[in-house]
Amino acid sequence: MSRDTAEPPPRTAAELLRTWEWAHLGYPLFVLAQPWFTPRPAPWEWPLAFAVCAITPVLWGKALHANGSPRRTWSAIVPMAVVGTLVTPVNAGASVLFVCAAAAGCPGCASGSPRSAARCGATARPG
């Protein structure tokens, strides 16, 4: 087996907890803006917003810890997109879940780090 086709070594705990890969979790806070700025929010709007904000980091973490397994990655990004699809009609801030799902599909590319992008086989944009 040549060195180019060998699987990458497992990621260390320090690599799994890198800040830039988790920085995307600031976006789901926009879900809280809908009930905050609504003059009289319905009783279900706050619990729904908190539930979306609670499930997103769980699914994001699952995608980051997939270690290249397509099945584990898809099992995290599909539910994130489904939650976004179901919640966006009643909370416009939930549309950011589509961005989070796309970024979770390739956390190395989303981080903008050339080293991380090389690990997943993508080409990082210079800059």
Please indicate, yes or no, if residue 2 is contained in any of the structural domains.
no
Q: Is residue 57 part of a domain?
A: yes
Q: Do the domain assignments include residue 67?
A: yes
What is the domain extent for residue 75? 13-33+45-120
Look at residue 100 and tell me if it is in a domain. yes
In a domain, 4, yes or no: no
Backbone angles phi, psi at 30, to 5 degrees: -65, -20
Look up residue 95 and give its DSSP letter. Answer: G
Query: Confidence class of residue 114 from pLDDT cuts 50, 70 and 90?
Result: very low
> Could you tell me which of 71, 54, 61, 55 has the C-alpha nearest to residue 16?
61
Alpha helices (runs of H) in 4-44, residue ranges in sequence order = 13-16, 19-22, 33-37
- Tell me, yes or no, whether 126 lies in a domain: no
How far apart, in whole angstroms, are the C-alpha atoms of residue 104 and residue 59?
9
Return the higher-pLDDT residue of 68 and 77: 77
pLDDT at 88: 94
| Domains contained in the chain, number | 1
For the chain, give the percent of residues with pLDDT over 90: 35
- pLDDT of 65 reads 77
